[in-house]
Chain A
Amino acid sequence: MSTKLNNIVSGNATFHHQRHKLLLPAWLVICLLLVVPVLMMLVYSFLTKEFRGGVIWEFSLAAYDQFFFDRGLFGDEPAKIDWTYMRIYARSALQAFIASVLCLVIGFPTAYFIATRSVRSRPVWVFLITIPYWVNLLIRTVSMKFMIRDSGPLNTWLLQAGIIDQPIHLINTNIAVQLGLFYSYLPFMVLPIYASIERYDFSLSEAASDLYASKWTTLRRVILPAVKPGIIAGCILVFVPSLGAFLAPDLLGGAKNFMIGSLIEEQFKGNAGNWPFGAASSMILLAIVMGVLLLYARNETNAAGSR
């Protein structure tokens, strides 16, 4: 027994082939508690709903049918395409896209600035950017709500500074949701871009300048293409969690700015109580996210191959 353990944990090359057994607990836990549940969710999305939550074990396409089609109040009219839910997904995608653009606009210059500091001070800047990420997302969202409400500090400051003469109404608007998403995931944009710029060879900028390119032309034509992988990674890292976000739209957006997260939550926690539909909506969200990630991964390997 003990020699077996010794073999597994040792650094002896002859026993290296044993080492992968150490991955067993991770495989077990993640397969049993994440992969299996996702497969079960897939099964549930094809079952019949029970009205007080839960399912009846009877095959049904009703959940997906409800997502895409409208068959009238009693379900006997010819199927028309129903845009209600697809519109919620499209709106969520748009919100997530705007949040990504906002993060990029603020995040790129920040990442660039940090990457051009001295080697010693860079980790401190990066640490400053990451601290807020580790603060509870709920608390951050509540803070944002407190900050931007009609009589909140933001409006007070702007009024006192004479920049506005009426409080700006932000709570329960699209802008509030975008601000919330932006605030939630900004560090995800800065970090990968920072990593790319840190690897960027600044002699390229020098060469561009020697060839009479202006600074901004150099930025546009030389630096941006060189650090594009970092930018794409950052955009995905912001877009994906924004798409399924629950707290920012729920606390900052109100009922009018319903997003995917709230739609799904309502099927399980709210009054709607339609588990198969909630499972189907989650499956569709998961499919979109995995699609984006796969596309990204394929792009990456292609880019790596052509280099």
Chain B
Amino acid sequence: MASINTNIKHYPGFLAVTVFCLFLLYAPLLVVMVYSFNDSLSIVKWEGFSLRWYHDVFNGKETAKYKTAAWNSISIAVMAATAATIIATLAALGMNRSAQWRGKSASFALINLPLMVPEIVTAVATLIFFSAIGFKTGYTSILIAHIVFCIPFAYLPISARLQGIESSYEQAAMDLYATRTQAFTKVLMPLMMPGIISGYLLAFIISLDDFIITNFVKGAGIETLPTAIFGAVKQGIKPNIMAISTLMLLVSVLFVCISYMVGRSGSPTSQNSE
């Protein structure tokens, strides 16, 4: 304790809290991952390592159900993320590459509106909307609803990336006789690409993970993975659910890691942002 002033920033115990915080965040996920390899019919006792529940997921009684649900989830996520990324890229260009205009802050608020409205309210409003215009709930209604709330998640990394690219790059290209289209496709687009990929992956995960809004607008007879899992969990947590959860969890973590690394790679601002 003699060196109490050597590090003014240091507070005793904060490291412990941080470790505890990470423990809280990861322990439940790790426990489920470990128990998905449990060779037991019950979820209570550990009876040795086995891949039987993974085998059950891919070749079991419920395989057909989860396969359909997984296909719905993935195809919706691909399309919703694609649409949201296109809309978000255009919006980011409009926000960051235009002179100050009156609707700018309103536009910013609007793009982020899906983040501010509570999910359950969005779910109710969307259900009422589809019902009022007589749109049949099902696959398409889920897809449409997903596009909306994916937009801000795609927008944030794209816009952050674009803010770091000075417009002098495009101007230089045009000084060298590039047409405006060439300046865009050959210079700005490649520079923006990491942000676009990062945004696409985040939108994909957000769509893949959504439960509340999907549950409201899906209608009868169609399930995505989260709604199928929710239905099953209501009957009690079964080992095959843990195997499916582990698979979904790994997909999410993998995509986030890729998004993170792509987003950071060769960032023009990484040196001077500090």
Which A residues contact B (CB, under 8 angstroms)?
Answer: 2, 5-7, 9-13, 16-27, 29-31, 33-38, 40-41, 44, 54, 106-107, 109-110, 112-114, 116, 119, 123, 125, 127-132, 134-140, 142-147, 151, 153, 183, 186-187, 190, 202, 205-206, 209, 215, 219, 240-241, 243-244, 246-247, 251, 260-261, 264-265, 268-269, 275, 278-279, 282, 285-286, 289-290, 293
Q: Given A135-B29, A136-B249, A286-B121, verify A35-B9 contact (CB < 8 Å).
A: no
Closest A residue to B35 by beta carbon equals: A146
Complex CA gap A44/B260 in Å reads: 42
Closest 6 CB pairs of A and B: A11-B170, A10-B180, A244-B118, A22-B94, A19-B98, A37-B129
Task: Decide if B21 touches A106 in the complex (CB within 8 Å).
Answer: yes
Which B1-40 residues sit within 8 Å CB-CB of chain A?
Answer: 4-5, 8-11, 13-15, 17-18, 20-22, 24-29, 31-32, 35
Closest B residue to A209 by beta carbon equals: B8
Closest A residue to B4 by beta carbon equals: A215
Q: Given A106-B20, A205-B8, verify A147-B31 contact (CB < 8 Å).
A: yes
Q: Given A26-B107, A30-B114, verify A16-B97 contact (CB < 8 Å).
A: yes
Task: Decide if B171 touches A241 in the complex (CB within 8 Å).
Answer: no
Does B163 count as interface, using CB distance less than 8 angstroms? no
Select one of B4, B18, B114 contacting A114, CB under 8 A: B18
Closest A residue to B147 by beta carbon equals: A29
Task: Decide if A10 touches B107 in the complex (CB within 8 Å).
Answer: no
Q: Given A20-B103, A135-B249, verify A127-B260 contact (CB < 8 Å).
A: yes
Q: How far apart are A27's CB and chain B's nearest CB, in angstroms? A: 6
Task: Decide if A33 touches B174 in the complex (CB within 8 Å).
Answer: no
Complex CA gap A38/B202 in Å reads: 25
Task: Decide if B125 touches A282 in the complex (CB within 8 Å).
Answer: yes
Q: How far apart are A231's CB and chain B's nearest CB, in angstroms? A: 15
Task: Decide if B32 touches A139 in the complex (CB within 8 Å).
Answer: yes
Which B232-246 residues sit within 8 Å CB-CB of chain A?
Answer: 233, 237, 241-242, 245
Complex CA gap A137/B31 in Å reads: 16
Q: How far apart are A31's CB and chain B's nearest CB, in angstroms? A: 7
Does B101 count as interface, using CB distance less than 8 angstroms? yes
Select one of B8, B94, B205, B229 contacting A139, CB under 8 A: B229
Complex CA gap A34/B80 in Å reads: 15
Chain A residues whose CB sits within 8 angstroms of the CB of B28 once the complex forms: 140, 143-144, 146-147, 183
Chain A residues whose CB sits within 8 angstroms of the CB of B245 once the complex forms: 136, 139, 142-143
Complex CA gap A132/B21 in Å reads: 12
Does B156 count as interface, using CB distance less than 8 angstroms? no
Closest A residue to B259 by beta carbon equals: A134
Q: Given A34-B113, A136-B226, A183-B28, verify A23-B9 contact (CB < 8 Å).
A: no
Task: Decide if A209 touches B95 in the complex (CB within 8 Å).
Answer: no
Select one of B93, B122, B174, B188 contacting A22, CB under 8 A: B93
Select one of A132, A153, A268 contacting B31, CB under 8 A: A153
Q: Given A202-B9, A247-B212, verify A26-B180 contact (CB < 8 Å).
A: no
Q: Given A31-B110, A40-B128, A147-B31, verify A134-B256 contact (CB < 8 Å).
A: yes
Complex CA gap A114/B24 in Å reads: 17
Select one of A23, A30, A136, A244 contacting B121, CB under 8 A: A244
Does B131 count as interface, using CB distance less than 8 angstroms? yes
Q: Given A30-B113, A107-B21, A209-B5, verify A285-B31 contact (CB < 8 Å).
A: no
Interface of B is mostly: helix
**Could you list 12 further interchain pairs (A-B, Cβ under 8 angstroms) beyond the known A11-B184, A41-B128, A244-B119?**
A9-B180, A17-B98, A26-B111, A41-B124, A113-B18, A125-B18, A131-B256, A147-B27, A183-B24, A186-B25, A240-B116, A264-B120
Chain B residues whose CB sits within 8 angstroms of the CB of A109 once the complex forms: 11, 13-14, 17-18, 21
Does B51 count as interface, using CB distance less than 8 angstroms? no
Does B64 count as interface, using CB distance less than 8 angstroms? no
Complex CA gap A36/B174 in Å reads: 42
Residue among A36, A109, A247, A278 with max Cβ neighbours from chain B (10 Å) = A109
Select one of A30, A146, A151, A186 contacting B21, CB under 8 A: A186
Does B144 count as interface, using CB distance less than 8 angstroms? yes
Closest B residue to A290 by beta carbon equals: B116
Chain A residues whose CB sits within 8 angstroms of the CB of B129 once the complex forms: 33, 36-37, 40
Task: Decide if B25 touches A183 in the complex (CB within 8 Å).
Answer: yes
Chain B residues whose CB sits within 8 angstroms of the CB of A18 once the complex forms: 98
Select one of B145, B171, B237 contacting A145, CB under 8 A: B237
- 19 A–B contact pairs at CB < 8 A? A6-B181, A26-B94, A30-B148, A36-B129, A107-B21, A109-B14, A116-B10, A123-B264, A134-B253, A138-B209, A138-B226, A138-B230, A146-B237, A183-B24, A244-B120, A260-B120, A282-B124, A286-B117, A293-B116
Chain A residues whose CB sits within 8 angstroms of the CB of B128 once the complex forms: 37, 40-41, 44, 275, 279
Does B69 count as interface, using CB distance less than 8 angstroms? no
Closest A residue to B104 by beta carbon equals: A20
Q: Given A30-B111, A146-B32, verify A106-B126 contact (CB < 8 Å).
A: no
Complex CA gap A113/B211 in Å reads: 34
Complex CA gap A145/B230 in Å reads: 13
